[in-house]
Chains A and B, each alone.
Chain A
């Protein structure tokens, strides 16, 4: 490929565009981190363990974050630009997405560390793939051209397909990956075809040029353009798991390794929504009367079906899959509004959701037994007694997703609903809030289960004699020590496996799930702590993040 390019350049003096490295610095750092990690680990295979890979990943994520913050400073002082021959948008919006994705990768690395050690999956491949898929999501956020969006989409997706299959010991993992791959490849094909049709109708794949063309020309017969638009929407709908393109997500969420599911929920949504917002709101803004009703319908279907289907789930990961469909519906409210307020509300929602969903999947990860099983909601019974802090963290994160005040979850819902009302979509806003009430039920169900004693079936029999289960109290001291934040990490990691093994060998498998000691690895503890702290602190003092999202939208290129 490169030799071909060189050959072409030498013959025809191909003019290469000036490359503004600053505008893609975070993406370069993220990709560079992945390449560095894979190189170093293949050279020093014996020395490199999971811990060093995690370290490099976290350092890369932090470096990306720093670069993005520097970009933010640059963008706010110099204004938005379009760089690299119009292929990359360098504006507040893209920087915002870089920051969200970088944070998601850092948190996922922290969560995955304990998971990989528990599942005996040595090697840096997980982290390499996570960073690669993140760079794809970041590229989607910066892309200013449909082809570049497609590039980002594929980089994101292909790495995620592999990650979904990462736990080769689980049959479900392979099944999930295959399903994700087949449907994903199919939707990519639809997306590319959409690009082709749009290119055919407008003569460009560059987003500003498309907008320019549409504003200057009245397309008399715009069937091709609308068909292309519809196909693009289908492609995006698949990635954000909006109804009716959501069929893959419950199976994939359930089957993928838990840290991967969290990463998938966070970055695939961030990248796809970023591109969706940029394409539809800014490029096809003039056609909004054509696409708004469709997005309206998709949003309502996602809100309602996501909330209702989640009610009947017994597996917490499937429940979270439907919950994420419901959240996608909420973010679509901002898209449907197609205003500055709507875009900034969607951005804020993505930011808040990243922390909420990663925190929840961090807890799910540590709750799973060896082999990443035990995701039944009933497995959470009695967690409030066994590990009060872990249960409290999960309760806060789930309640935040339900939209309880003084959390970022409330402000996220509030801002998208406000945007929707501002755009006079009252029915949509009312349905969204109604679905939030339905959704509250299944989040609460998990919380109730956590604070119910082990062994009880259904609702409890006696008010005064709660938590009398002997089995739970027998393991309580161990759970307490594991939950304290002061214990040293190495000791925890080793005692973790011993403790869970002893319980597994002693107790019959059915009971062992409920009575098992949950020991949270130190790094996961940090990740959960960060997620909860962000959700609560910026729920109480919302100013910085809300204004950040608002400013990011104003600097839309």
Chain B
């Protein structure tokens, strides 16, 4: 299925990886610091340009893998350099490609920018590699490789407790992946015993027959790794401290891109490889998702520290993504996929703004900030837009994903959807409260002195706001590309588990654009009784 002669995806990984090496090799003493940053930015922009080319050449209605390339990497181990892109990963790649240059520009560091830029570029290569790998072990390699640059970014440029945060992050995720590797190898050998071929390629392995117990055990082995990375409640304990202690760039990339690796892994590998086990364990995962939504929201309410508040709100949002995924309906899964992208854009904007606020005031305590809308009106306006998107106000991108997730879940798991809706309300409470505290009220003297956003910062935030609005108003082009792949995946799950989803759940795109809202919900609730018992 190599539809292009040019290896787009390999190039997409090699550009930032090569860029990291180049930046690391530019000497530190004789060259001004901005050269490293400029080279890094240029490399990430070239990567973005390539990603846009890929987007333009992407065949909209085709649900399978595109831009595939397949080379033998280690013959006797059966590992292939196998890359491919479908509607599910396409926009994650796009999101990562957009966010890395913005991060390099918007969250610069004072100390040793050379190493910083090199680590960020290496992280970009690892993230893009994870999103486009079709070989299990290759995915694992990139998945694990993300740890190293993230570790150094947190540990090298973080805040007070960065050493602790970095180690905790590393050990948690590394321990989680331990089982992932064993699980991957086990799947491959079970496949080998059935077909005689040792391969780690997903398209081949997804037809492996697994017994019930083996499937459940392997599902757990895979899911623990992804749940730690995402993070899903109760595997999240590393994340608040890592998000809070990381430098702005680290928080942005952790929450926006790396967190998606976990959710993406669940969609790509759990659903493809273990459909039966996924069905069996759906109630557990849905409960964890709802628990995460409510827990994140409640704990966020209790925060007096803006950055920690954003960190916990991210935990709640990830609960939504998991909820949509394990609804196992086309609507829910489409919602989950698009919410990964939307949440990435929103959380990146939030962490960037919060980081800029810290640069000005050296504090995240809401009690120390007041009335900033007078001295920093642009910042206040931008924060409002992003906050509203995060709450899920219609017309902004957060709504699209949350609506699809909730309606897709409601069709088959009504009570979980209801409980999750509560999370949206609480999200409105704590975000509006934080906004009031910080931007409203009578400013004190330091508040009046606070600078507004500079030109670089406006340049960084503008594309994010544009995307947030665009995806909120007109998500159709995105949904059109996601839906075929999602339908194919859901069909695979249903075929293996001999179930059918409610007919209404397939109308993801039309429902989301607002035309079929009432009908979708109404018929969904009526058909629920008939289909709810089907699994």
Contacting residues, chain A, for B142 (C-beta < 8 A): 405
A-B contact pairs, 5 of them (CB 8 A): A418-B188, A437-B178, A444-B170, A448-B163, A448-B167
The residue on A at minimum CB distance from B162 is: A463
- Nearest CB on B from A147, distance (A): 34
Residues of A within 8 A of B428 (CB): none
A410, B140: Cα distance in complex, Å: 11
- A462 CB-CB contact with B under 8 Å: yes
State whether the Cβ of A332 lies closer than 8 Å to any Cβ in chain B.
no
Q: Is B30 close to A, CB under 8 A?
A: no
Cα distance A441–B168 in the bound complex, in angstroms? 9
A426 B182 Cβ-Cβ under 8 A: yes
Bound-complex Cα distance A461 to B75 (A): 49
Q: Which of B76, B164, B189 has the most CB of A within 10 A?
A: B76
The answer to whether A543 and B75 touch across the interface, beta carbons within 8 angstroms, is yes
Please measure, in the bound complex, the distance between the C-alpha atom of A542 and the C-alpha atom of B80, giving whole angstroms: 11
Closest A residue to B146 by beta carbon equals: A405
Question: Which 4 pairs from chain A and chain B are nearest by CB?
Answer: A433-B178, A437-B175, A405-B141, A550-B76
* Contact flag A448-B140 (CB < 8 Å), given A399-B148, A437-B174: no
Contact B73 A543 (CB under 8 A): yes
Tell me whether A430 is interfacial, beta carbon within 8 Å.
yes
User: Cβ of B374 < 8 Å from any Cβ of A?
Assistant: no
- Is the beta-carbon distance between B174 and A440 smaller than 8 angstroms? yes
Find out whether the CB atom of B179 lies under 8 angstroms from the CB atom of A433.
yes
- Among the stretches B150-158, B342-350, B377-385, B406-414, the one at the interface with A is B150-158
Q: Is the CB of B73 within 8 A of A542?
A: yes
B65: interface (CB < 8 Å): no
* Complex interface: chain B residues within 8 A of A440 (CB): 170-171, 174
CB distance from A487 to the nearest CB of B (A): 16
Q: Is the interface of B mostly helix, strand, loop or mixed?
A: helix
| A448 cross-chain contacts in B, Cβ below 8 A | 155, 163, 166-167
CA distance A415 to B161 in the complex (A): 37
Contact of B76 among A404, A429, A460, A546 (CB under 8 A): A546
Q: Which residues of A contact B175 (CB under 8 A)?
A: 434, 437-438
Q: Does B145 contact A (CB under 8 A)?
A: yes
Interface string of A115-158 (1 = CB under 8 A from B): 00000000000000000000000000000000000000000000
Give every chain A residue within 8 A of B73 (Cβ-Cβ): 542-543
Within 8 A of A (CB), among B63-116: 72-77, 79, 110-111
Known: A404-B144, A440-B174, A467-B111. A429 touches B162 (CB 8 A): no
Known: A405-B141, A414-B181. A444 touches B110 (CB 8 A): no
Whether B77 and A418, one on each chain, are in contact in the complex, defined by CB atoms closer than 8 angstroms, is yes
Given A410-B144, A421-B189, A460-B162, 12 more pairs with CB closer than 8 A: A414-B137, A415-B77, A417-B182, A421-B185, A429-B185, A434-B178, A440-B174, A448-B163, A459-B162, A464-B110, A542-B74, A543-B72
B186 within 8 A of A: yes
| Interface residue count on the A side (C-beta < 8 Å) | 42
Asked whether, in the complex, the Cβ of A546 is within 8 Å of the Cβ of B74, the reply is: yes
Contact (Cβ within 8 A) A421 B186: yes
A466 to B189, CA, bound (A): 49
Q: Could you tell me the distance between the alpha carbons of A542 and B71 in the complex, rounded to whole angstroms?
A: 13
Does A406 lie within 8 Å of B145, measured CB to CB? yes
Partner of A463, one of B72, B148, B160: B160
Query: Which residues of chain B are near A411, meaning CB under 8 Å?
Result: 74, 77
Interface-central residue, B142, B164, B170, by most chain A CB under 10 Å: B170
Across-interface contacts of B189 in A (CB, < 8 A) = 418, 421-422
At the interface, yes or no: B159 with Cβ under 8 Å from chain A?
yes
Show the binding face of B for A, using Cβ within 8 Å.
72-77, 79, 110-111, 137, 140-142, 144-145, 147-148, 151-152, 155-164, 166-167, 170-171, 174-175, 178-179, 181-182, 185-186, 188-189, 247
Q: Smallest distance from the beta carbon of A352 to chain B beta carbons, Å?
A: 13
What residue of chain B has the Cβ atom nearest to residue A545's Cβ?
B74
Q: Are B77 and A542 in contact (CB under 8 A)?
A: yes
Q: Describe A's contact surface by its main secondary structure.
A: helix
CB distance from B129 to the nearest CB of A (A): 10
- The residue in chain B whose Cβ has the minimal distance to the Cβ of A424 is B189
**Is the CB–CB distance between B164 and A426 below 8 Å?**
no
| Contact of A414 with B151 at beta-carbon distance under 8 Å, contacts A405-B140, A426-B182 already known | no
A467–B115 Cα distance when bound, in Å, is 14
Instruction: Tell me the complex Cα distance, A411–B75, Å.
Output: 13
B141 contact from A410, A421, A434, A464, Cβ within 8 A: A410
CA distance A404 to B145 in the complex (A): 7
Most buried by A among B74, B144, B171, B189: B74
Chain B residue at smallest Cβ distance from A477: B29
- A454-472 interface bits toward B, Cβ cutoff 8 Å, 1 = contact, 0 = none: 0000011111101100000
CB of A486, distance to nearest CB on chain B (Å): 13
Which B residues touch A273, using CB under 8 A? none
Name the residue of chain A whose CB is nearest to the CB of B29.
A480
A200: min CB distance to chain B, Å: 40
Q: Is the pair B145, A405 in contact by a Cβ cutoff of 8 Å?
A: yes
Q: Is A330 an interface residue (CB 8 A)?
A: no
Contact check: which of B75, B111, B151, B185 meets A418 at CB < 8 Å? B185
Shortest beta-carbon distance from B23 to chain A in Å: 14
Contacts of A463 in B (CB 8 A): 157-160, 162, 247
Instruction: Enumerate A387-406 residues with CB–CB distance to B below 8 Å.
Output: 399, 402, 404-406
A462, closest chain B residue (CB): B160
Q: Which of B77, B158, B170 contacts A546 (CB 8 A)?
A: B77
CA distance A404 to B163 in the complex (A): 19
User: A452 near B: Cβ within 8 Å?
Assistant: yes
Chain B residues near A467: list those with CB within 8 A.
111
CB distance from B198 to the nearest CB of A (A): 9
- State how many angstroms separate the Cβ of B174 from the closest Cβ of chain A: 5
Look across to chain A and name the residue whose beta carbon is closest to the beta carbon of B24: A392
